[in-house]
Structure 1
Amino acid sequence: MENSRHVSPRYRGRFAPSPTGSLHFGSLVAAVGSYLDARFNHGDWLVRIEDLDRQREMPGATSSILHTLETLGMEWDGDVMYQSQRSEVYRNAVDMLGKLGFIYPCICSRKEIADSSIMGVSGPVYPGTCLRNPAPINKAYALRVRTGNDVIEFNDRLRGLYSQRLRDDIGDFVLRRADSMYAYQLAVVVDDAEQQITHIVRGMDLLDSTPRQILLQRLLGYATPSYLHLPVVTNALGEKLSKQTHAAPIDVSNALMQLVNALHFLGQEPPLEMIEGDIASFWHWAQENWRVDQIPH
Structure 2
Amino acid sequence: MAASPPVFRFAPSPNGRLHLGHALSALTNARLAAQFGGALLLRIEDIDLTRCRPEFEQGIRDDLAWLGLVFEPDVRRQSEHFSDYRAGLDRLAALSLVYPCFSSRREVQVAVLAREAETGRPWPRDPDGAPLYPGSCRTLPEDEAQARMAAGEPHVLRLAMDRALARAGTQLCYSVFDAEGGTRQVAVDPARWGDVVLARKDVPTSYHLAVTVDDALQGVSHVVRGRDLEAATDIHVVLQRLLGLPTPLYHFHPLLADETGQKLAKSRLSESLAELREKGLTAGGIRVRLGFG
Q: Structure 2-normalised TM-score?
A: 0.81
Name the SS of the counterpart of 1:60 in structure 2: helix
- What is the distance in 2 between the residues matched to 1:20 and 1:142? 22
Match of 2:39 among 44, 48, 67: 44
Aligned to 1:165: 189
Instruction: Look up the match of 2:118.
Output: none
Are 1:51 and 1:84, in contact at CA under 8 Å, matched by a contact in 2? yes
Match among 259, 263, 266 for residue 291 of structure 2: 263
> Shift of residue 45 of structure 1?
0.2
Deviates further, 249-258 or 87-96: 249-258
In structure 2, the CA distance between the partners of 1:235 and 1:134, relative to structure 1 (3 Å rule), is farther
SS at match of 2:232: helix
* Residue aligned with 2:291, SS: helix
Structure 2: give runs of 5+ residues left out of the alignment. Answer: 113-122
What is the percent sequence identity of the aligned residues? 33
Q: State the alpha-carbon separation in 2 of the partners of residues 192 and 107 from structure 1.
A: 30
The equivalent residue for 1:291 is none
Q: Counterpart of 1:155?
A: 175
CA distance in 2, matches of 1:205, 1:197: 20
Q: Does 1:63 align with 2:95?
A: no
Letter in 2 for 1:154: Y
Can you list the C-alpha shifts for 1:76-129, whole angstroms capped at 9, x where unaligned?
013111111111111111112111222111112212323335212122112333
Name the aligned partner's letter for residue 37 of structure 2. Answer: H
Contact 2:47-2:203 within 8 A present in 1 as well: no
Q: Give the corresponding residue for 1:16.
A: 11
What is the aligned partner in structure 2 of residue 106 from structure 1?
101
> Match of 2:258?
235
Equivalent residue pairs, number = 258
TM-score by length of structure 1 reads 0.80
1-structure distance, mates of 2:188, 2:221: 22
**Separation in 1 of the partners of 2:83 and 2:53?**
24
Q: Is the 8 A contact 2:10 2:41 kept in 1?
A: yes
CA contact (8 A) 1:152 1:215 kept: yes
Instruction: Name the residue aligned to 1:142.
Output: 156
Whether contact under 8 Å (1:239, 1:245) holds in the other structure is: no
CA distance in 1, matches of 2:106, 2:186: 30
Q: Separation in 1 of the partners of 2:44 and 2:157?
A: 24
What does residue 279 of structure 1 align with?
Answer: none
Query: 1:55-76: per-residue Cα shift (whole Å, max 9, x none)?
Result: 2224511111112211221110
Give the letter for the 2:189 counterpart.
R
**Residue in 2 that maps onto 1:201:** 224
The CA deviation at 1:51 is: 0.8
How much does 1:160 deviate? 5.3
SS, match of residue 198 in structure 2? strand
What SS is found at the alignment partner of 1:201? strand
| Partner AA of 1:121 in structure 2 | P
Contact residue 93 and residue 220 of structure 1 kept, 8 A: yes
**Match in the other structure for 1:290:** none
**Any conservation in 2 of the 1:124–1:170 contact (CA below 8 Å)?**
no
